[in-house]
Chains A and B, each alone.
Chain A
Amino acid sequence: MAEKSFVRMEMLPEQAPPASSVGVIGWVRANLFSSWFNSILTVISIYFIWRVLAGILPWVFLSVWDADSLAGCREVIAANWPGAESAEHACWAVINERWLQLLYGFYPPELYWRPNLAIILLFVALAPVLFADRVPRKLLYVTMVYPFLMPWLLWGGTIWGPLMAAAGFVIGFYVIKILSDEIGALSAMIVGVLATVTWWLGAGPAVADALSGTLPIGIEAVESRKFGGFMLSVLIGVVAIGVSLPIGIVLALGRQSDLLIVKGICVGFIEFIRGVPLITLLFVASTLLNIFLPPGTNFDIILRVMIMVTLFAAAYMAEVIRGGLAALPKGQYEGADSLGLDYWQSQRLIIMPQALKISIPGIVSTFIGIFKDTTLVSIIGLLDPLGLANAIRADAAWNGVYWELFAFIALLFFVFCFSMSRYSMYLERKLQTDHR
């Protein structure tokens, strides 16, 4: 006789997990109170956050926006919050009064539209480069025109100077295009470059002078010493970042090349620049650069600073890109060779796209570093935001204002640098082609 046995014939429905391991409680248990040590850490952290916020939030929000001096601020504070020390409440009145100065320096207020337009156009010009798949390619024309438009907008003056500078590139381009069928690519390149340089040094300025004499089209000129504030930081940063990338690529290729002399020159330049602090290079800009150039040359300090910061950035960029080049497997070079591509073709079509992709994080962190380092120009007397902060404190009305100015400047820099680093993360994700 068969014994009766019980065998379950169907699956039991899943039970809900215990209430203590899901939802808010589960999350808190797993992430905040998973052990006694973690619990202590959590309690300490919450206390720390509370202390910090309790110190900062009243300072930020219970503050004075309308006053014409620090003393005025203190009166308002004493009236509104009796018994409070003046340091417990921020005096944003200084930002309220001087924020335009902190942004534009001493740029004439009626011409603020020019830097504003320049920065809007900067984003328009950057869009086809940064978000290549989302905006029309036609915008690339704006990108090509921008390097000549931006200086004209900011410094003003006659339009013929930038136009003639641009004409140099156009001349070089057509010389190369026409001659490359006749005498070969390399010779055409050399002749083209020579034609461009001759145009810039010889005919260009003369034509520009003649044209501005007969057809004076231009906008009001603004002297360099009126530049300042955050506009100056962005200007130096953008120029250094934009120009240093191509120079950096050339230096990196030079350092990787088999040509001993070219390699030696590149290595020497890179190691020298990376071995000295930026401040010494800025000293060179402020005191020595004129000595290195032909007697009588004297061009303005902002341009000199931009040259030195660009060289500085280029050396760092070169090392980042060299890292990308070195990380490429040898097969990529050999594959390019086996397709019959010449050096420049293989660099342009095979090597550089991959090497630059690998080095994106490094390139962006170099950008951020350069942008932050533009504050050093305050040491050689330019009025970037930090220099202006000192200038504002030198005003008797605002003598003694520290934290509000620092907070404002730090916030400006933070917004720029943080968004740059987020963009680099986005780009990394977008360009990731391997499936991991």
Chain B
Amino acid sequence: MTTLTDPPKESFRLSMLIYDTRYRSMTIQVVAMFGFMLLAAWLINNTITNLNALGKPVEFGFLGEPASYDINQRLLDYTSRDTHLRASLLGLLNTLVVAALGCITATILGVLIGVLRLSNNWIVARIMTVYIEMFRNVPVLLWIVLVMAFLIEGLPAPREFRGDDATASMILNETVAITNRGVYVPEFLFSRPLGDISLLGTSSLRFDVSLELIVLVLVFAAGLYVSGRIGRYADRTQEQTGERPVVWYWRLAVVVIPFAIVSWMLGLHLGYPALKGFNFQGGTHLRNSLIALWLALSLYTAAFIAEIVRAGILAISKGQTEAAGALGLRPNRIMSLVVLPQALRVIIPPLISNYLNLTKNSSLAIAVGYMDITGTLGGITMNQTGRELESILLLMAVYLTISLSISVVMNWYNNKVKLVER
């Protein structure tokens, strides 16, 4: 008669670390961790040895030294006696400026081209296809230098605007001058200014906030808030009575009228550029480098956005539109309530990653001499001080921060619009 015996008692053998699936993952992880730390230690050790041999240990004191180079396109006051830190700050602002401008124009252009590519007009659709293929298949750096060359070579010099036999003239009712030294646009001026508030004293991060601007923004925001309240009142009335009161002119008035009155009180007017001496004076001077980068990045990214928009629109099945029509919705309501919310779910994530790409591509500013963060911190500051490690670490940290912030926004949006599945 057989008896049921206990299974042989397992003793731990070393080979089980590899062959037993219970332990194998632990083994692999420990080995990976060990290998990674070894690699990191080796790299850091090499770096320290090399830097000591070169006689420049890692320190960030160079940021406080005078930069002694000029930044011609800038948002804050800056002289070449300011520190490297301030130069980097201005560079960062320039990066953000060109990224924001580029994202806006790229979106407008991209949506337009994407929609036109789906047009039932054969010739328009073909033109848009040619545009998209042309821009997507040629490097963005080539577009940037090409636009820059066009601005310098193809546009009239300021002296051609002079005299009775001028060969060039200002556009938009003599307000905008497009020259080969940049574009001059009107600027906003206040004849009864309230003054500035200087923040952070005289440190490298100091900046002035103009009070007029704050007042105008506050008035505008308050107007929007009141307008929103009126809209909610209309919604409530509609829910209670079924009749929607006509309030759109009220909503418009509370935004526009106070804003207009305050602007008039502050003496808001435009300062126009005018030809004085050899160059234009007055107005805001947008340098060629900014225009070239802005234009090239917008045109290039617009081709990608157009494809995203097209894919998003095609992704919504026709049944959705027809079902909404069967419910009795009017075409514009179908678009805003049914098609767009679904299309945006497809469009927005890749759109934001294209914004991210545009921001990263703006580092190519260095090719046309636009002083963004790569041109200041990663360019002249690095070459002047010889602090490659520190400069590049800071540069990467800045870009990582921008990228990760955009990623956070994207994840938040994705979670918000995600289909709730069972």
Chain A residues close to B by CB (< 8 Å): 31-32, 34, 38, 41-42, 45-46, 48-49, 184, 186-187, 258-262, 265, 271-272, 274-280, 283-284, 287-288, 290-295, 368, 372-373, 375-376, 378-379, 386, 402-403, 406, 409-410, 413-414, 417-418, 421
**Which of B32, B141, B378 has the most chain A CB atoms closer than 10 A to its own CB?**
B141
Q: Which of B45-53, B170-178, B193-201 contacts A (4 or more CB under 8 A)?
A: B45-53
9-residue interface stretch from B2-10, B117-125, B241-249, B251-259: B117-125
A48 contacts which chain B residues (CB < 8 A)?
Answer: 127
Checking A32, A258, A275, A373 against B399 with a beta-carbon cut-off of 8 angstroms, the contacting residue is: A275
Contact of B121 among A42, A271, A272, A280 (CB under 8 A): A42
Across the A-B interface, give the 5 residue pairs with the lowest CB-CB distance, nearest first. A275-B403, A31-B122, A417-B137, A372-B139, A277-B360
- B: interface residue count bin: 35 or more
- Which among B145, B363, B392 is the interface contact of A287 at CB below 8 angstroms? B392
Provide the residues of chain B in CB contact with A386, threshold 8 Å: 139, 141-142, 145
With beta carbons under 8 angstroms apart, the residue of B46, B127, B142 that contacts A410 is: B142
Task: Say how far B26's CB is from chain A's closest CB, in angstroms.
Answer: 9
Interface residue? B29 (CB, 8 A)? yes
Chain A residues whose CB sits within 8 angstroms of the CB of B46 once the complex forms: 291-295
Partner of B149, one of A34, A46, A402, A413: A402
- Quick check: B25 and A276 within 8 Å, CB to CB? no
Bound form: Cα–Cα A403–B153 in Å = 10
- The CA of A46 and the CA of B127, in the complex, are separated in Å by 10
Known A406-B142, A406-B146: A291·B403 in contact at CB below 8 Å: no
Q: List residues of B (10-41) whose CB comes within 8 Å of A's CBs.
A: 18-19, 25, 28-29, 32-33, 36
A41 contacts B124, C-beta separation under 8 Å: yes
Mask for B119-143, Cβ within 8 A of A = 1, else 0?
1111110010000011011111110
Tell me if A276 and B32 are in contact (CB < 8 A): no
Beta-carbon contact of B395 and A280 below 8 Å: yes
Find out whether the CB atom of B361 lies under 8 angstroms from the CB atom of A375. Answer: no
B121 touches A414 (CB 8 A): no
Q: CB-CB < 8 A to B49: which residues of A?
A: 294-295
> Which of chain A's residues have a CB closer than 8 A to the CB of B360?
276-278
The B interface, classified by DSSP as helix, strand, loop or mixed, is helix
Question: Known: A42-B123, A277-B363. Contact between A413 and B142, CB under 8 A?
Answer: yes
Give the distance in Å from the alpha carbon of A406 to the alpha carbon of B138 in the complex. 10
Report which of B32, B145, B404 forms a contact with A265, defined as CB distance below 8 A.
B32
Return chain B residues, CB-CB under 8 Å to A280.
363, 374, 378, 392, 395-396, 399
Q: What are 18 of the A-B contact pairs (CB < 8 Å)?
A: A31-B123, A34-B120, A41-B124, A45-B121, A49-B123, A259-B32, A261-B32, A271-B404, A272-B400, A279-B366, A279-B378, A280-B378, A294-B49, A368-B136, A372-B140, A379-B364, A379-B366, A410-B142
Q: Quick one: which of A259, A278, A378 contacts B29, CB cutoff 8 A? A: A259
Query: Once bound together, how far apart are the Cα atoms of A291 and B293, in whole Å?
Result: 33
Expressed in whole angstroms, the minimum distance between the Cβ of A281 and any Cβ of chain B is: 9
Say yes or no for B221: interface residue by CB 8 A criterion. no
- A-side contacts of B127, CB under 8 Å: 45, 48-49
Asked if B43 is at the interface of the complex by the 8 Å CB criterion, the answer is yes
Q: Is the CB of A413 within 8 A of B137?
A: yes
Whether B389 is near chain A, meaning CB under 8 Å from some CB there, is: yes
Query: Which residues of B342-374 have CB atoms within 8 Å of chain A's CB atoms?
Result: 360-361, 363-364, 366-367, 374
A259 in complex: contacting residue of B28, B122, B153, CB < 8 Å: B28
- Considering only CB atoms, which chain A residue lies closest to B300 in the complex? A372
A45 touches B51 (CB 8 A): no
* Contact among A45, A368, A409 for B123, CB-based, below 8 A: A45
- Tell whether, in the assembled complex, residue A274 and residue B403 are in contact, meaning their CB atoms are under 8 Å apart: yes
Docked-complex contact A402 and B32, CB < 8 angstroms = no
Asked if B139 and A258 make an inter-chain contact with CB atoms under 8 angstroms apart, the answer reads no
Asked whether any CB of chain A lies closer than 8 Å to the CB of B388, the reply is yes
When distances are taken between beta carbons in the complex, the residues of chain B under 8 Å from A376 are 141, 364
Contact with A along B244-281 (1 / 0, CB 8 A): 00000000000000000000000000000000000000
List, in ascending order, chain B residues with CB within 8 A of A260's CB: 29
Instruction: State in angstroms the CA–CA spacing of A277 and B28 once bound together.
Output: 32
Measured between beta carbons, the chain A residues less than 8 angstroms from B53 are: 295
Q: Are B137 and A368 in contact (CB under 8 A)?
A: yes
Cβ–Cβ < 8 Å partners of B136 in chain A = 368, 417, 421
Chain A residue nearest to B362 (CB atoms) is A277
Does B366 lie within 8 Å of A41, measured CB to CB? Answer: no
State the CA gap A261–B392 with chains docked (Å).
Answer: 27
Most buried by B among A278, A290, A372, A403: A372
Complex Cα distance, B407 from A271, in Å, reads 10
Asked whether A418 lies within 8 Å of B363 as measured between CB atoms, the reply is no
**Closest chain A residue to B119 by CB distance?**
A41
Asked if residues A265 and B36 are in contact (CB atoms below 8 Å), the reply is yes
Q: Are B374 and A45 in contact (CB under 8 A)?
A: no
Cβ contact within 8 Å between B47 and A291: yes
CB within 8 Å for A41 and B141 given contacts A259-B29, A288-B389: no
Chain B residues closer than 8 Å to A288, beta-carbon distance: 388-389, 392
One digit per residue, 1 when the CB lies within 8 angstroms of any chain A CB and 0 when it does not, for chain B 410-422 equals 0000000000000
| Given A184-B19, A279-B374, 15 other A-B residues pairs in contact with their CB atoms under 8 A | A49-B127, A186-B18, A259-B29, A260-B29, A276-B395, A277-B374, A278-B360, A279-B366, A284-B392, A287-B382, A288-B392, A368-B136, A379-B366, A386-B142, A413-B139
* A287 CA to B379 CA, complexed, in Å: 12
**Contact yes or no, B51 A291, CB < 8 A:** yes
